[in-house]
Chain A
Amino acid sequence: MKKLLIALAATTAMATAAQAEGELNIYNWVEYTSPEMIAKFEKETGIKVTIDTYDTNETLLAKLKAGGTGYDVVMPSQHFVEIMVKEGLLQDTGVGQMANYKNLDPRWQKPSWDPEAKYCAPWQWGTASVAYRKDLYGKELTSLKEFFEPDEAVKGKVQVFKSPDEVYNMANIYLGKPFCSEDAEDAKAVQALFEGQKPFVVTYNSENQNDNLANGTSIMANNWNGFSMRARMDSKTDIHYAYPKEGVVGWFDSACVPVGAKNAENAKKFLDFIMKPENIALQSNYARYSNAIAGSEAFMDKDLAEADELKVPESVPVKFGQACSPAAQKLIDRVWTKLLQ
C-alpha cells in the first residue's frame, strides 16, 4: 500500500513539476487537509492545489532526502522539523516576517524547533495523556502516579500505548528525566517503572482505547486529546481526558517549504494564508485538532471550541517529543522489548 502511494505520488509529482506558475503541491498526512480550506485558498489566490499523502514522518524524510519530489509544502512533526533543518532540507521562508505571523498565540511563536521563526507556519497540534472513566475510577486523575503506579482498584484495567513513542516520554516526565537520555541509569529507572506498571495493564494497544473505556474493559487508557474527545461524544459515558500536574506529551505539525520547491512563492502565500484565524479554523473543524492561531476559536464549531480535551490548563506543561540520537533510541527500544519479551 505504502509503495503504491509512493508510486502514485511520484507520478503526480512528475506530471505537475513541468508546469510552474499558478500551482501548489502539498504533501500532507492522510485525511489531514480540509477540502473546504483548500477551496477557499484556490478561490482567493487562483492557485491550483494538488495534495499527496504520507503516513509517517520517516516516509516524508526519506522522500525529501532522495530529492526531486516536486512538493512545495510538507507537514513534518516538531522533531522532524529539527532533523530536516539540520539536514538542510527546508528553506528559509522568513515566516516570522509574514503579515499574519502576529496572529500566533505568543506561546507558539518561535518554538524550540524553529527558534528564529525562519522556516515553518503552525498547522495543528495536540497532546497525548491518559483518558479515564471518572464514574468507575471514582475520582479525578490529577497525577501521572495514578497511571504508572496505580491503586489496586484498577488492577487489570489500565491500557497503555502499543509503542514506546509517547508513553516513554510520559514516564520521563513523571520521573523528572530528560527526553532522549543516553544514560543507561535513566533507562533503568524507566524500565523499573514500566515493569511495576505491567501487572496492572490489560493491554498494550493504541487502537481500541475508546471502545475499551466505553465498555469498561479498561478504566484508564493512554489516549490523544482529539481521539478522547471523540470517545466522549460517541459513547455518552463518563470519559475524561486527564491533564496530570506533571505534564503531558505534545506533538506539533508545521507547514514547511522544502529546498528546491518549484512554487516557493505560492508556498509562502499558503503559509501566510493558514495563519489567518478564519482559515485555520476550517482546518481544525475538519481534522478536529487544535491550532496555534489566537482568535480562531470564534470561527470553530461550537463543540470543538468548547471541548475540555483541547484546553491545556495553564499550570500543566506540554513537553514535545524530540528526535533522539541512535544511542538514546537504542535504550528506548531495549527497555520496551525487555518489557514485552
Chain B
Amino acid sequence: MLRSTTSNWFGVAPAWLVIGIFGLLPMFIMLAISFMVQDPYGGVEWGFSTEAYVQFLFERDLDDSLILNTIYVNIVARSIGLAAMTTILCLIIGLPVAYFIARQPEDKRNLYMLLITIPFWTNLLIRTYAWILILTRNGVVDARLQWFGFEPGTFDLLYTNTAIFIGLVYSYLPFMVLPLYASLEKMDFRLIEAASDLYASKWQAARHVIIPLARPGIVAGSLLVFIPSIGAFIAPELLGGGKRMMLGSLIYFQFATARNWPFGAAVSILLMAFVMIALLVYARAAKGQGLPAGGH
C-alpha cells in the first residue's frame, strides 16, 4: 500500500516539478514582490509593505490621509468591458462558423479546422503589425480605394476603438471556434430535423436545440476568449493608439516607466484573481451539467 503511493508520487513528480518551476514559482515571486518596498530606481528592497494594494484604491493626501482614487478602478472596468465585448463579438461570429464547419463532410471539416489554426503559425505581434498596414491611412485598403478615385484617408481605422475590436476578435476568434466546434461536432443533427418536423422555425431550432447542446462549448470558448482579452496589451496599444490604459498597459507602465515593481506585481495579482473568479464561475456552472470541469 505504502509502496504503491510512493511510486505514484514519484511517477507524477516530473509533472509537479514543471508546474512548480514554470507555473507556481513565478506566481509566488510576483506575490512576494507585490508585498515588498519599492526601490526608487527600479527593483525592490527587502521589507514588508501593503502600500501597493493600498495604492490601488487610495492615494495619500499631503497630510498622509487616504483619499479614494478611482483611476485604477476605471482602468479595470474598461478592461473588463473590453473583454466582455470581445467575447460577445467572438461568440456571434464563432457560433455560425463552428456550426457551418460541423455540418461539412469529414474531409472538409479537417481542412476547415486546419485553416482556423493557420494564423497560430505566425507570431501575434507580427499579425497585429499586419493589421496596422491594413487599417492605416494610405494602407492596403485605403490605397486600393484611391485607385477608384476616393480621397486619401477615406478608409482610416487605425487608432480607433473599432481597430481594437478588430484586433482582439481576430486574435481570439479561434479560441471560440475550436471548443464550439468540439461540442457541435458531436451533435446529432437529426434533432434539428425533428425540430423542424415539429414546426419549429429555424430561429426556434437554434434557440432550443443548437444553443443548449453547444453550451459546454459556449462556456469554454467564452472563458478562453475573455481571459486573454482582459490582459490584452498588443491590440489596445498598437491598434488603439494607447490613448486609454488597459490593465496590460498599466502593468507594463509600472515596470518599465514608473519603476514601481510592487504596484505592477499587485495589479498582476489582481488580474490573476479576476481570472480565478471567472474559472470558479465556470467550475460551478459545469457542476451537474456534465461539462468538462477545468483543464483546457
B243→A329 contact, CB < 8 A: no
Query: Shortest Cβ distance from B101 into chain A, in angstroms?
Result: 37
Closest B residue to A325 by CB, please name it. Answer: B40
A204→B242 contact, CB < 8 A: yes
**Whole-angstrom CA separation of A212 from B242 in the bound complex:** 15
Closest A residue to B70 by CB, please name it. Answer: A341
A337→B159 contact, CB < 8 A: no
B43→A165 contact, CB < 8 A: no
**Whole-angstrom CA separation of A216 from B241 in the bound complex:** 15
Residues of A contacting B: mostly: helix
Contacting residue for B75 out of A58, A164, A184, A341, CB 8 A: A341
A341→B136 contact, CB < 8 A: no
Query: Shortest Cβ distance from B193 into chain A, in angstroms?
Result: 53
CB-CB contacts of A204-215 with B at 8 A, as 1s and 0s?
110010011001
Asked if B46 lies at the interface with its beta carbon under 8 angstroms from chain A, I say no
Query: Shortest Cβ distance from B129 into chain A, in angstroms?
Result: 9
**CB-defined contacts of A201 to chain B, threshold 8 Å:** 243
Contacting residue for A165 out of B40, B138, B257, CB 8 A: B257
B41→A202 contact, CB < 8 A: no
Write the residues of chain B forming the contact surface with A, with a CB cutoff of 8 angstroms: 38, 40-43, 59, 62, 71-72, 74-75, 132, 136-139, 152-153, 156, 158-159, 237, 241-245, 249-250, 253, 256-260
B71→A337 contact, CB < 8 A: yes
A203→B242 contact, CB < 8 A: yes
Query: Shortest Cβ distance from A329 into chain B, in angstroms?
Result: 7
**Whole-angstrom CA separation of A147 from B72 in the bound complex:** 28
**Whole-angstrom CA separation of A162 from B71 in the bound complex:** 18
Query: Shortest Cβ distance from A184 into chain B, in angstroms?
Result: 7
**Whole-angstrom CA separation of A338 from B38 in the bound complex:** 21
Contacting residue for B158 out of A217, A323, A334, A337, CB 8 A: A217
Contacting residue for A217 out of B41, B71, B156, CB 8 A: B156
Asked if A83 lies at the interface with its beta carbon under 8 angstroms from chain B, I say yes
**CB-defined contacts of B250 to chain A, threshold 8 Å:** 337
**Whole-angstrom CA separation of A202 from B59 in the bound complex:** 30
Which residues 310-336 in A have Cβ within 8 Å of B in the complex?
Answer: 323, 325-326, 329, 333-334, 336
A215→B243 contact, CB < 8 A: no
Contacting residue for A341 out of B74, B132, B241, CB 8 A: B74
**CB-defined contacts of A198 to chain B, threshold 8 Å:** 243
Contacting residue for B241 out of A184, A202, A334, A336, CB 8 A: A202
Query: Shortest Cβ distance from B89 into chain A, in angstroms?
Result: 23
**Whole-angstrom CA separation of A73 from B243 in the bound complex:** 40
Closest A residue to B62 by CB, please name it. Answer: A184
A204→B40 contact, CB < 8 A: no
Asked if A163 lies at the interface with its beta carbon under 8 angstroms from chain B, I say yes
A-B contact pairs, 7 of them (CB 8 A): A163-B257, A212-B136, A216-B152, A329-B259, A333-B258, A340-B249, A341-B245
Contacting residue for A203 out of B75, B159, B257, CB 8 A: B159
**CB-defined contacts of B258 to chain A, threshold 8 Å:** 329, 333, 337
**CB-defined contacts of B152 to chain A, threshold 8 Å:** 216
Contact A217/B75 with A83-B41, A201-B243, A325-B40 known, Cβ cut-off 8 Å: no
